[in-house]
Structure formats: C-alpha cells, structure tokens
Amino acid sequence: MRSAPTILHLDMDAFYASAEQASKPSLRGKAVVVGGLGPRGVVATASYEARVFGVHSAMPMAQARRLAPNAAYLVPRFGLYREVSERVMGLLRALSPLVEPLSLDEAFVDLEAGGVAWDEQSARLTGVRLRADIRSVTGLTGSVGLAASKMLAKIASEQAKPDGLVVIRPGTERALLGPMPVRTLPGVGPATGDHLRRAGITTVDEIAEAGEDELVRLLGKAHGHALYAMALAHDERPVVAEREAKSVSVEDTYDVDIHDRVRVGVEVQRLADRCVRRLRDAGLSGRTIVLKVRRYDFSTLTRSETLRGPTDDPAVVKEAAARLLDSVDTTGGVRLLGVGVSGLADYTQEDLFAQARLAAGDTADEEHEEPAQEPAAGITQDEPATAPEHVWRAGQDVRHSEYGHGWVQGSGLGRVTVRFETPDSPPGRVRTLRTDDPLLEPADPLPLVPLRPEAADPRAAPSGTVS
C-alpha cells in the first residue's frame, strides 16, 4: 500500500433528500424522505432530520410513514440528481484523471495521480478545498475520507459523516479495523456476516485470528483469501477511471399486481423503449436481450435471447422482449417487470431485423426463486412510469401560467396542493387547485443555485484524523 493517505473517497450526505431540501426552501431543516410512494415503495434516502425518527434507506415506505408521519414524502427526481452529480464529478476530475464513480453521489479519487497530494498535509488541504467547492457550486455537503487504500478511504468517509473529513494515517490501519464489526469490510453482507457469526467471528480482529485456512474453509477460496487480506488492512485495488458497463436495464415495480396479459405486454414494450433510450444515450449497443419478471409470489424469472450481432434498434429489442414474454407464465399477476441489454459494444450490426429473427431459437432460460420478502428496491435509477393525465405525484415539479414554478405537496379528490417556490426564493405560498386546471402543467426541475462565496467557509466544517 501507499505511504501517504492520497486516495480520497467522497460520499455526498443524504444526497437525494439534501438535493430536495436545497431545491425546496420550505423543506430546509425539516424531515424529508425520498422513494417510492406506493404501497410497495421503499425509502431511497432520508434526510438527517428524518433519521432521528429511525427512518433509513431500504425501509418500507409504510414503516417510514409510521415512524415519521409529519415528514415530507417525495418521489425521486433523477434528472435533478444527475445534474448535481455532474457538477460534483467535474470538481473531482479537475483534481485527477483517475476518478472512479460508484454512483451518482459517491466516488474514489487518486490524488497522487493528479499531482495535487503527496503526503498527509497536502491530501488534507485538497479534501478541505474539495468540500468547500462542492458547497459553493451545489449548496450541498459531502463527507471525505482519506487513506492509503480504497477500502480504508471508504471507511474514513463513513466515519466523517455527516459533513466532515477524516484521515486514516498509514500504519494505524490494523488498530483501527480490529474492533470493528465484520460487516465493515467490503463484500461482507448479511449472509456472510451471519455465516461468520455462527462460527464465532464477529469483529475484524477475530477474522485475522481465525487465519486464512479457516476462512477459505468457511467461505471458499476466493472470498476467504480476499477477506483475510482485508482484515490485515491489505488492499491494493487501484482507482479505475472508467468502469466498463456490463449491461443497461430498466425496471418498474407496480403498486398493484398486473393481471391483464395485454397490459403486461404493453409495459414490456414501454420498458424496451426506455432501455434503448438509455443504451443510445450511452453510445452503446448490445447482443443479449433480457426480460425480468417478478410474479405475485415473489418468484423471479429471467429470460434472455442472444442475437447474431449488437443492436440499438428499438424495434429489434421490442420484438425480442415480446418473444421472451411469450415463454413466461404470468397467471396470478406480475409485481415487477424489467428489460435489459447486455453483451455491450460500441457499434451496431447491419440487417438487424434479419439477424434478430434468425436468433429467435437461441433462447437461454433461467428460473429461480427469491426469498419471500419485498426486495429493498422500490425505485430504479430511471424516471418512474408515465403517470396518467392529471395525476400529480408528491414532489413533482409543475408550472402554473399565473403563479409560476412550484412542486406538488399532495393530491386527491380532484384537488392538487402546490407550493409555489424556487431554489432561490423564500418559502413559497401554498395553493389548492383542481387537478385538471388548464393552467397547471408538469415542469422540469430548476437547477440548484450555487452558494455565495461567503456561505461556503470550510473553516466551519468539522474534520478529524484517525491515528
């Protein structure tokens, strides 16, 4: 590993909820929960004000409403989140050519490769400046971890939350990791954690004490070797600038099971269209079309068809998805549908319709049962299904030709409540309108307003060192 803490991990604080608070002046300092609002929705992000009541990500939305009945519950607006993420990632790429995004709100940066840090002092100053710059251009806060490896930088950023900076000095890693629970280490999820607990292993120190041979016996060769190395604080993984996408997919979870076979077919075609749009936006094409169906009993089926060449043609993808659906029994109802494309390439094959038909017989099937519980994902990183006309979702952007820009607080019984305000206005006035008001229409999110320089003073931000 390195001799200086020059790998940085940035994790934006309660990103979706913080973006909503910055966008909606009336919600600043208040409990905000973002996620799927239907009966089967789950929490994507909760603001720190909501977390005080016990609300957290992946929690069923119904449970969150019981814990925090007075919080604001909003649908996600991924267009806004992507726009803010692009600003943040631009700041990171100004520091180094080696930036590894993990999601919209999280990334690793190799500061040494950018020549901006070579020891603890220069790394810390870079982290302080970065946090100030993020506040300045977005109005949001992020937590920064600095260490000699990716694993430790991520642990440091977790300790820095919220709105802080923590440095883990090289040579102190073993003492820091030892008393931590096994779930701290990457790759140790609930199943692996339970398996280790049954073997009497609950801390990182106990992983190291068990020895490599015992871990291999418990977890298998690859996982055992990797986990033992991490327990000893060994992590040589480099920061990778471009993470190659393996597939492009979209999916929707439905509030009520779909029983109508025709409706299922229509949804699959719509998802195929959305999938192709994402494929083209990324400048990619793919050879394998995948259909995912989660049925009423939580069993999940996947069907795939491999074409003779890559495609980004919506007609080809829709045709293949329809053929795959023909092989799936949807009797009893469908709760989730998804369409994806894998085997990605940066070019397309000529004669797409012909090669799609020739490949119709080359269909690989996979069927498996999933645990009988609602998955911790009520939304996907894509726009929700198009709502019927005059159905307004809480948090949705709207514009009224008389009152201006606003957002939906709630709707029902033929009425919609809208708060008219913008990111740079004072808290706005609430008005109740008819859901079919001809002067009210959906709108795009307004960009967040950068803070004035005096509002982004890094001297006021907490920071720390783990030694």
The 3-state DSSP class for residue 173 equals helix
> Which positions ≥6 away from 453 have C-beta within 8 Å?
136
- Calculated CA dihedral for residues 307, 308, 309, 315, nearest 10 degrees: -40
Instruction: Report the 10 Å Cβ neighbour count for 179.
Output: 11
Q: Among candidates 160, 165, 152, which has minimal Cα distance to 204?
A: 152
The answer to whether 398 and 418 have CB atoms below 8 angstroms apart is yes
Q: Of these residues, 20, 49, 106, 305, which one is catalytic?
A: 106
Q: How far apart are CA 393 and CA 128, in angstroms?
A: 38
Q: Cα–Cα distances in Å, from 214 out to 182, 187, 355?
A: 15, 17, 51
Instruction: Name 285's bridge partners.
Output: 345
For 213, counting Cβ atoms within 10 Å of its Cβ (0-12 exposed, 13-18 middle, 19+ buried), the class is exposed
Instruction: Name 43's bridge partners.
Output: 35
49 noted as active-site residue = no
Cis, peptide link before residue 101, omega less than 30° from 0: no
State CA 459 to chain mean position distance: 30
Instruction: Name 338's bridge partners.
Output: 251, 292
The answer to whether 381 and 251 have CB atoms below 8 angstroms apart is no
The answer to whether 334 and 293 have CB atoms below 8 angstroms apart is yes
Q: How far apart are CA 13 and CA 163, in angstroms?
A: 7
Pairing of strands 285-295, 300-311: antiparallel
Q: Among candidates 378, 384, 419, 377, which has minimal Cα distance to 77?
A: 384
Q: Give me the sign of the Cα torsion angle 342, 343, 349, 353.
A: negative
Q: List the catalytic residues.
A: 106
